[in-house]
């Protein structure tokens, strides 16, 4: 694979790198994306399941959907894309800003991770806010009740209409703004405020590189678009890095 010269030069001089990732980076680990070809939301609307109103209307249904996704996530392994990102840390100051809730960046060994939309492993009581990790509650297809107050327990993910965790978002924004290169990997970049992250990078004069199997909302905005699978492209970029860093 041939990369353009300008990109290779940026890679040689870069110190801080940000990876802004979405569902597409986990597609090769067997986790469905939301939008695009084979996206789960081609069949149902997000607000029908991923919102507080939906949960209150039918807690068992929403819980069962997350339980199903938890089963898939628990069996999934990081792929060559996640592993390459973790290995970039040997050569650069790397931050991973992710919309994913699947833990695969952590399993791959990435250290500095900002999770904008929460984590499917954590749960909390909507009444008294006691936290439970998935080992601490009985995971069945009906919604668990808090052992302290009997309230409904929900996954600690950010639903539509909910605020993002402020620290994760502002740290993620700062990392993007101060980065030399910002890779935008496997995201349709349509969900806000997460989709402001690449804009923060641009504002800070970072070099914006998109990695996706197809053009997105961001393509016209990116300095360089690489179309193909993240699990194939990212290891190739890492090979280039190794050529000049070793």
Binding site partner of 149, from Zn ion, ligand BV8, none, Cβ cut-off 5-8 A by kind: Zn ion
DSSP 8-state secondary structure symbol assigned to residue 126: T
CB nearer ligand BV8, residue 30 or residue 161 = 161
Applying CB under 6 A, does 36 fall inside the site for ligand BV8? Answer: yes
128 binds, among ligand BV8, Zn ion, none (CB under 5 to 8 A by kind): Zn ion
- Where residue 56 falls (left for φ over 0; alpha for ψ -120 to 50; beta otherwise) is alpha
- Nearer Cβ to ligand BV8, position 93 or 236? 236
Which of 10, 35, 70, 105 is in the footprint of ligand BV8 by CB under 6 A? 35
Decide: is 172 part of the binding site for ligand BV8 (CB under 6 A): no
Q: Can you tell me the distance from the alpha carbon of 200 to that of 41, in angstroms, rounded to the nearest whole number?
A: 28
Indicate which single residue of 216, 218, 237, 241 sits in contact with ligand BV8 (rule: CB under 6 A): 216
Task: List the beta strands (DSSP E) in the chain.
Answer: 16-21, 93-98, 113-115, 118-125, 131-133, 153-157, 181-185, 207-212, 224-227
99 binds, among ligand BV8, Zn ion, none (CB under 5 to 8 A by kind): ligand BV8
- Interface residue with Zn ion among 146, 197, 208, 237 (CB under 5 A) is 146
Q: How far is the CB of 70 from ligand BV8 (least distance, A)?
A: 11
> According to the binding rule CB under 6 A, does residue 198 interact with ligand BV8?
no
- What would the 3-class secondary structure string for 9-30 be? HHHHHCCEEEEEECCHHHHCCC
Instruction: Indicate the burial class of 224 (C-beta count within 10 angstroms; 0-12, 13-18, 19 or more).
Output: middle
Measured CA to CA, the distance from residue 179 to residue 21 in angstroms comes to 15
Q: For residue 212, what are the β-bridge partners? A: 227
Select from 30-38, 54-62, 126-134, 138-146 the region that touches ligand BV8 (CB under 6 A).
30-38
Peptide bond into 92 cis (omega under 30): no
Q: Which is nearer to Zn ion, 19 or 55 (CB)?
A: 55
Residues with catalytic function: 117
Binding-site member from 13, 43, 138, 163 for ligand BV8 (CB under 6 A): 163
Which segment (27-35, 56-64, 121-129, 166-174) binds ligand BV8 by CB under 6 A?
Answer: 27-35
Question: Measuring CA to CA, which residue among 102, 19, 94 is closest to residue 66?
Answer: 102
Tokens of 231: 């699990």
């Amino acid at each position: 694979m041939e990369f353009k010269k300008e990109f290779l030069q940026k890679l040689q001089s870069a110190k801080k790198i940000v990876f802004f990732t979405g569902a597409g980076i986990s597609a090769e680990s067997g986790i469905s994306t939301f939008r695009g070809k084979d996206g789960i939301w081609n069949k149902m609307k997000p607000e029908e399941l991923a919102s507080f109103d939906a949960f209150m209307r039918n807690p068992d249904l929403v819980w069962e959907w997350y339980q199903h996704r938890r089963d898939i996530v628990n069996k999934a392994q990081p792929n060559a894309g996640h592993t390459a990102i973790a290995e970039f840390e040997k050569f650069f100051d790397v931050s991973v800003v992710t919309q994913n809730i699947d833990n695969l960046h952590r399993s791959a060994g990435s250290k500095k991770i900002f999770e904008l939309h929460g984590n499917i492993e954590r749960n909390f009581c909507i009444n008294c806010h006691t936290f439970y990790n998935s080992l601490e509650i009985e995971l069945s297809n009906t919604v668990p009740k808090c052992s302290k107050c009997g309230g409904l327990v929900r996954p600690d993910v950010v639903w539509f209409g909910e605020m993002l965790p402020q620290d994760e978002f502002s740290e993620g924004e700062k990392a993007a703004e101060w980065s030399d290169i910002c890779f935008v990997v496997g995201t349709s970049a349509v969900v806000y405020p997460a989709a402001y992250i690449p804009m923060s990078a641009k504002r800070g004069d970072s070099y914006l590189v998109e990695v996706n199997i197809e053009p997105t909302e961001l393509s016209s905005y990116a300095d360089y678009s690489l179309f193909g699978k993240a699990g194939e492209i990212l290891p190739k970029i890492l090979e280039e890095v190794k050529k000049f860093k070793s």
